[in-house]
Chain A
């Protein structure tokens, strides 16, 4: 009994310093200073409308909660809003009866159409982009960035299909995250995937500070939610539909945490069993706020000190500006043609082999083939 009393006393004493000083507590709870989001839709064709709607719904929630476009990399493999088969052009709906247009008027798509490939996706994640890539197409995260990665499309056991022609495997994804970790490109990473057998994609993760959610377990299919008879296709997948509903209740100062996110779309609503993985995540999921990943709540400090500047501003002459010669026109006009590598003419190899075979058979005749067999 005495031991029990001592241990409770000890716990009380050790908890008292944790009564938070408000500013310090919020400052240090998560350790991140900025947020990024990488949202990818990997399927094309009109009947995969729902994948584009999924991605755009998450994009909309993430923007509403504060992440600016400069910190979102949005990859859509096909253009549904301006598709010829869209009866309502320039819109992408997520609810039937066209309640919610997630396309809006300020969507900024960074990778579109055929630019959404496995290679580009891995390049964005690892940062190995050619130097000519503009800033909006790069993931410029640092060691204090929390990143949200959302993938949707058609998938299978251990792979996700891109553009109907290639796949990314779970091993490649895990390796990409490990390279991100090695270069300290993230503080914490939340990975959400809404595909069939989605849980297989996070099986192989091994880097620290990753949390993953999937819409279905291995062997299960993720189902779509509801078709809209006017548009003619299924509008959303079930998991993302209920995820969007959950996120609509979150506002920038909400205190909802990850445990609430894990409860989204139970089996009764989703038909598949959503899964999650938190063993690599260092913090307790209950202490991770939804806005740590989906929103961008900035930490602020009051500026206490100022510097007393007494010098007057120097007067300078106004410079006159002129347009600079941007192109060395004379050099371009008088350029010599570049040396091209010599290639043998087309069909050369084919002709050469035909000649050899003809000579061989002419000299030896067909009957000598029996020596080989």
Chain B
């Protein structure tokens, strides 16, 4: 009680009040305000913004290796001594202010070995190609060009270049290189042809700039390239392929198709070869009483029904409503429909704009799929008992569908330059160099899409300060940035397979980050709404504190005045 009275004596009554007010104000300012700031802060994990900004400026280098092998009769013995040499050529293109491309062609020249000479002595180019392939297999992304003398009979008269099924090409030397030319002149003569071969078999500037369409809003090039880019499906990690058999007349036709066997034999080899590019899932169905949306016209001169190409566009929509799709995945769907016309409208032929019959009797729609009309009226006579059992010739059907599939996936190349003889694709529907082409353009497309996604995501997150950035999003962004850097590095060194793999990882990570459900910006608060929320909370608390501080200040001033008055 002595202590108490001492303490109470030292600190007077009024003083206690002032101390209380000051300490409350101190707690509010020193502890309260920072606590409020921290708890109302949105959690934003760290993003590698500087690396993302670096990536927004894309400098891509694509490297392709070509080996040029001189067969006997193309180089003189003195030239042969000089021949093993390597040349590197760079070609630069600036697409726009953020994107630049550089193509590096590394050309290695050498002479042919004995075994290769034997292989080149085969009667036809196709057999030569096959035996050359058994000797050695070129790695993914590289090419071998065999230069054969003008006298060689492997190629027909007007053709100079034969593009094989794998990664080899045969190039015939022109007539002017017959006698007495130096090595440099020979190389200069061959160079434009080799460049053309590279553009057909590896990548061309039009393909690559079409693949960059996500980054660069292209001014339209030639019509063919626009049609190609509109027709091809965009790069996606997976695709779904659906084969549908449309039977509008089950009373007349009982159709049997061995779709499982046909897919296994004809389609699956192609898809297995494309496994590094995307995953494919296949299903099939049969639809009964599914009509075409247009009425075909009867052409008495042919005694058949015809569908004009103008009305083809209206065929797809009524059918599409009934096709259905796999509800579980969001992958793009390729639909292939086989339509067997009903007995009253058979046979049905498709006519093109020039009123000519189309040999395949099929048409396709960009980024959708294809439809083939299969006439079965030839399989039974007029006295047949309905319903007639019909076995569909799956080889013919799949031949058409496979061609359409190649077009829609972007495998089919545009027309080759003059003087080129391109071998038909092998039994698995895809030549090795076609796969390489696809891998080049897909890698570039993936890299372009991933960089735009990441940069726009970073921009978005910077602009909107209220969005919460969770750790998993930051992780996805970092992994996307890493994969992108690796993909660009692999493209530079020419490791095509790894480049494609990294670019796929980059795209997956960037899409997952961009489309994360937690990034929804619903937090648009205009300033007056912010005031309206905070004023009722803080004003009642701040008013007493402020008033008491003011009272302290006025008391102190009054005391000083009193002291002054006392002094005087």
Task: Identify the A interface with B (CB < 8 A).
Answer: 22-24, 27-28, 31, 33-34, 66-70, 118-119, 122-123, 126-130, 134-136, 138, 140, 142-144, 169, 171-172, 175, 179, 182-184, 252-253, 296-316, 368, 371-373
Contact = CB atoms under 8 A, between A and B. Distances in A.
Nearest to A315: B261
Contacts of A22: 353
Interface string B389-414: 00000111011101110110000100
Nearest to B227: A27
Nearest to A31: B230
Given A66-B317, A310-B395, A372 B544 contact: yes
Tell me which of B362, B366, B399, B427 has the highest count of chain A C-beta atoms within 10 A of its own C-beta: B366
Given A128-B515, A304-B360, A179 B520 contact: no
Contacts of A182: 452, 456, 459-460
A300 B313 contact: yes
B105 interface: no
Contact of A306 (B314, B352, B403, B460): B403
B265 A314 contact: yes
B223 interface: yes
A128 B326 CA distance: 20
Contact of B403 (A136, A179, A305): A305
Nearest to B523: A172
Contacts of B230: 27, 31, 33, 144, 299
**Range of interface residues on chain B?**
35 or more
A138 B330 CA distance: 8
Interface in B435-482: 452-453, 456, 459-460, 464
Interface SS of chain A: loop
Nearest to A176: B521
Contact of B20 (A169, A298, A371): A371
A143 B364 contact: no
B366 A306 contact: no
Contacts of A296: 317
Given A33-B366, A253-B314, A299-B313, A172 B524 contact: yes
A225 to B, nearest CB: 30
A169 B524 contact: yes
Interface in B35-73: none
Q: List the 9 closest pairs (A to B, CB-CB), nearest first.
A: A371-B17, A182-B456, A66-B317, A313-B261, A303-B362, A68-B321, A300-B312, A33-B367, A306-B399
A302 B522 contact: no
Contacts of A299: 230, 313, 365-366
Contacts of A368: 17
Contacts of A122: 520-522
B350 interface: yes
30 contacts: A28-B227, A33-B230, A33-B367, A34-B367, A68-B317, A68-B320, A118-B522, A122-B520, A129-B515, A135-B325, A135-B327, A143-B214, A175-B524, A253-B314, A296-B317, A298-B316, A298-B365, A300-B309, A301-B364, A301-B366, A302-B352, A303-B358, A303-B362, A307-B402, A315-B261, A316-B260, A316-B261, A371-B20, A371-B548, A373-B544
